[in-house]
Amino acid sequence: MPDPCVISGINAATMVPGGAPYGLLEQAAIVVTNGVVDWVGPLADLPAGFHDLEQTRYDGRLVTPALIDCHTHIVHGGNRAREFELRLNGASYEEVARAGGGIASTVQATRAASPDALLASTLTRVDALIAQGVAMVEVKSGYGLDLETEMKMLRVARRIEGVRPIRVRTSFLGAHAVPDGTDPDHYIDKVCLPALEACHAEGLVDAVDGFCEGIAFDTAQIARVFDKARDLGLPVKLHAEQLSHIGGAALAAAYGAISADHVEYATPADAAALARAGTVAVLLPGAFYTIHETQAPPVAAFRDCGVAMAVATDWNPGSSPLGSLLLAMNMACTLFRLTPEEALAGTTRNAARALGLDDCGMIAPGMRADLAVWDVNDPAELSYGIGITPLNARIYQGTP
């Protein structure tokens, strides 16, 4: 595809809010210049200055912004299929974790893996996401719980962009779990915070995350991590209210977090606080499904308060071994009762917001020309299908 060029013969779900559902433009065209959307609108209204550009036609297919997976743990060693089997035999997620499984087992495997081995396994996951129209992925650390391995994970995450056509944002998740035999306050002060400083000094950190839960860290401990992030000028996000309600969502709102993730046990008061803070609620139906959770996030309260909702895979080896963002959209609709339009907004413009980005997630002038071309007629088909990948082409910065 030459640049500049006109992409035509399409229907464009621009995901620009305030107009038609999905921001849909029928019989549309998109002008791409230098990897950026220059113009979008009905082909009949194409400005005269673009008439001589070469056109790439897609025969009436649907074009959306490329998808964004805004919450993943795809850099890790090993797998936890055995723990999956244990849970099916009746053990709870908490019981597996307290018995030395869960995150601790992945920590051991990740510490043992070489950087090249970690990258190789990560790229198989990245390739699966690319094949589903994803052009942006967030990658967390958190399976090291020591300086060396946290840094190793983030270095691997930084290498992805050099070998695959995908954009990566990193999150430091040193406050993910308490290492066996360690006092959590000692761990935060002597391991997590120094590791954050070191990773930031090397330019490895785009945001700071934490796991605020009874089996991990309380609000006071996470607040110390967020204070350090604030000192370093880094945005924060939080795994909050996944298994219980201990004040994580309110803490995220108080710190102006860019996202609060999971939020199954969030309350209407939490929704109001997140709305005031402009914090995105990231819904993760893969984990809800895998650990047999029964309390769904308060979607109605989020709607009522105007909280933006994103949807992500939470791809990780334990609680969400889900490698399909399209399936996550379907699950968000079937399990959480999102509409297909909300699900697509959740993997485009709201996912961009959850990463603190304003240059992607919609098809509009000035946005990156990261696009997905689909063999569907109706945008709702993207959430309707189960195990279906109707991607025709993925365009990354104007290049197929």
In degrees rounded to 5, what are phi and psi of residue 49?
-65, -15
Among 354, 355, 283, 352, smallest CA distance to 322 is for 283
CA-CA distance, 161 to 167, in Å (whole number)?
Answer: 6
**What is the CATH code for 5-66+361-395?**
2.30.40.10
**Interval 84-96: pLDDT, tens:** 787 788 887 677 7
**Interval 143-171: pLDDT, tens:** 999 999 999 999 999 999 999 999 999 99
In what helix (H) or strand (E) does residue 382 lie, and over which residues does it extend?
A: helix 381-384
For residue 204, the model assigns a pLDDT of: 98
Burial 88-104 (b: 16+ CB within 10 A, else e): eeebebeebbeeebbbb
Domain ranges of the chain: 5-66+361-395, 67-354
**Interval 266-318: pLDDT, tens:** 999 999 999 999 999 999 999 999 988 999 999 999 999 999 999 999 999 98
Q: What is the DSSP string of 116-172?
A: HHHHHHHHHHHHHHHTTTEEEEEEE--S--SHHHHHHHHHHHHHHHHHSS-EEEEEE
**Interval 352-385: pLDDT, tens:** 999 999 999 999 999 999 999 999 999 999 999 9
353 and 258 in contact (C-beta within 8 Å)? yes
Does residue 99 surpass a pLDDT of 70?
no
CA-CA distance, 114 to 254, in Å (whole number)?
Answer: 39
Dihedral Cα 37, 43, 49, 52, nearest 10 deg: 100
Among 38, 35, 26, smallest CA distance to 1 is for 35
Give the CATH fold of the 67-354 domain: TIM Barrel (3.20.20)
State in Å, rounded, how far the first CA of the chain is from the last one. 7
For residue 92, the model assigns a pLDDT of: 79
305 and 275 in contact (C-beta within 8 Å)? yes
- Of the listed ranges 148-152, 186-190, 291-295, 327-331, the least confidently predicted one is 291-295
